[in-house]
Amino acid sequence: MSATQAVNPSLPHRPMLHELAENWWLILLRGLAFILFGILTFVWPVLTLFTLVILYGAFALVDGVLAIVAAIRGTTPVSRWWLALVGVLGVAAGLLTFLWPGITAVVLLFFIAGWAIAAGVVQIVGAIQLRREIDDEWLLIASGVLSVIFGVVLLAQPAAGALALAFVIGVFAIVEGVILVSLSMRLRQHSHATA
């Protein structure tokens, strides 16, 4: 019997939820990274393409590393695979962006769209697995759906200019960040309720 169950034996054993609750701060950091990236795209509205590429590469790398750390800190293999996959996708996207700094706007757009769709699908699948353990899985589902919609919109509008692309990315990043911060606060409340 875990310490959590010993303190509150009426709670059913929900390992995935408890694991996420223990690592709520990593989800908070991911949300704050999204928000910071989004704000930077608005602070510098006339970003050069190179600056946009570097900002995106740094963001994807940091987000990927945070997701991998959350997966490594976990103890339940079922709940870690989707975090690890999101992390690997983010690190790969960040590294490829840094290795290919001369990337064109259209290639960058397709790259960001592919990353957003893949990460969103993985988040949705992870949230569906969590629905038996967490009451507010809709926040993780909303985050995944937003990510998929963002990727599809980028693919549907490949002729958008770099400035428009920066604003679209900025809005997405801020909304995604707010959702992740909100989820982390709910997970934090759960960790305190079960402590």
Q: Is residue 8 part of a domain?
A: no
Q: In which band, very low, low, confident or very high, does the pLDDT at 7 lie, cut at 50, 70 and 90?
A: very low
Q: Is residue 153 part of a domain?
A: yes
Q: Is residue 154 part of a domain?
A: yes
Phi, psi of 12 (to 5 degrees): -70, 155
Q: Give per-residue pLDDT as tens, 84-134.
A: 888 898 898 888 888 876 665 667 778 788 888 988 898 888 888 777 766
Q: Is residue 6 part of a domain?
A: no
Q: What is the pLDDT of residue 24?
A: 86
Tell me the whole-structure pTM to 2 decimals: 0.61
Q: Is residue 7 part of a domain?
A: no
Q: Is residue 170 part of a domain?
A: yes
Q: What is the pLDDT of residue 178?
A: 93
pLDDT > 90 in the chain, percent: 8
Cα(132)–Cα(137) distance, rounded to whole angstroms? Answer: 9
Provide the residue range defining the domain that includes 44.
14-194
- CATH at 70: 1.25.40
Q: Is residue 9 part of a domain?
A: no
Our count of domains for the chain comes to 1
Q: What is the pLDDT of residue 10?
A: 42
* Burial category of 69 from C-beta neighbours within 10 Å (exposed 0-12, middle 13-18, buried 19 and up): middle
- Residue carrying structure tokens 């608005």: 42
Cα angle 30, 176, 73 (rounded to 5 degrees) comes to 25
Q: Is residue 151 part of a domain?
A: yes
Q: Give per-residue pLDDT as tens, 150-177.
A: 888 888 876 665 567 777 778 888 998 9
